[in-house]
Structure 1
Amino acid sequence: MKKEMLLLAALVLFVAAGVASAVETASGDLGIEVDFTWVSKYLWRGFDLLDDKAAFQPSVNFDLFDSGWSASVWYSTAGSSKNGGSLSTVDAEEFNYAVTYSNSLCEGQATQTDYAASYIYYDFPDVASNDADQQEFNIGFSWPEICPFGTVPSYTIVYIWSAEGGGANRDIEGFIHVFGINKDIEVDCLENPVSFSWDLTYNDDAGRANVDHDWSHTTFGLSTSFDGIGSGTLTPGIFYQISMDDSVNTQNELWTGISYALSF
């Protein structure tokens, strides 16, 4: 209980500081991006949450006046029932509420470090909160100038814990470490580059009960964007996950996704 109170206090301070900073440093307009995404599978931290079923995942993100702070609401609903109806589309509904602060250090230098810190609340409205709801705090770092040829290494540390104690989620607390590389590849016949992504994840017993302390999976991705589709941007992608730890996922996964984003 003491640790939970300390975490809650830290998060309240984090959000309060963000609001104060956004007001104090506001120098631009409120930016709004609305995104509509469809994925053929819903993979989260290596877990196949809908057992090979598709999901529709719209979101709205608010850029708070170029202050570095943003807030978002994200929604997911299953495209069909799971396991012959044991998990209905309604039961699979999920809302994520996030607050993020992003900035850069040593900008323009070889050691430039871009970073983003986020708090996320995972809300499953049709399941008891102590059985499903969870919270996350993560900090991600990337180094866009340190490697040649536009290769960008990154590292993200994630801490996950239950929103309420005592239920099925009581043993999900732990850390996840994600190491990655991104590179944009120019293709003559495309208006925007193809983005190649790769990441390797170490799960330190987090996200589900009885997860091993082990390298859980590695994921490869390819995506590109097409501007001027209506007044928005269309982004298709294809992804492949090699699963290395059965306590997270017993299968390798191949899936696709497509998103359409509008900015205001």
Structure 2
Amino acid sequence: MGTIDFDGLAAALAVHGLIPRGGIDFAKGETAPPGPSGASARAVLLVGHAGSSIWPHFQAWRATQPAGLADPLDAWSRQVIGAVAVRFGARAVSPSDQPWLPFQAWAMRAEGLRPSPLGLLMHPVWGLWHAFRGALLFDNALERPRNPDSLHHPCDACIGKPCLKACPVAAHAGGGFDYPACLGHVRSPSGSACASGGCLDRRACPVGTEYRYEPAQQAFHMAAFASPSIASAPTSGG
């Protein structure tokens, strides 16, 4: 098993607006998904993005695909990350794989992130404007310095919690997420601002505003959320 070419891997992902995120080596005896060999993986490296870095690449790809393609962002992510996995001797997995893989737990462990009051993982620089699009499983350890055990968590110093007050139906104000209320609002005429511009609670967060998704990207995610075919799944960020 050779050493992972992290520079080459990062360059291959950057072509698509993606970046290698945190990674962890699984402890001996720890339950882990199969790696590329079929045996339990030794390590996982998360793949994602910050801000709208993927958007032009995804849009260019989408223009070449059949109209009405189901879950296009998931399809694009699988295709792109899958090709990188083959090139670098890894196995690609997705947040939408079933049974669900613990992407959020991996991210918290690998990057020291913690959830915001909205449930999305808060990044001290990117705020809520980042996501995980997949992960690479390896048969060998990462053999690189570990990410810090914890990062500055901006929510601890946020007194006003504006992210809990902007939603017209108070979907996050009750100590959890009122999914039916949110979905009903977004699908209604009164929810047009959310449907076209993104979640108002998310947009109210003052951290990482320069990484806020562009309007077309936010509208895309909200349309996917409000789709009649939506199915519940663990979030890796939108």
Per the normalisation by structure 2, the TM-score is 0.29
Higher Cα Rg, which structure: 1
Task: Judging by fraction of residues, say which structure has more strand.
Answer: 1
Task: Judging by fraction of residues, say which structure has more helix.
Answer: 2
Higher RCO (CA 8 Å, separation ≥ 6 residues): 2
Per the normalisation by structure 1, the TM-score is 0.27
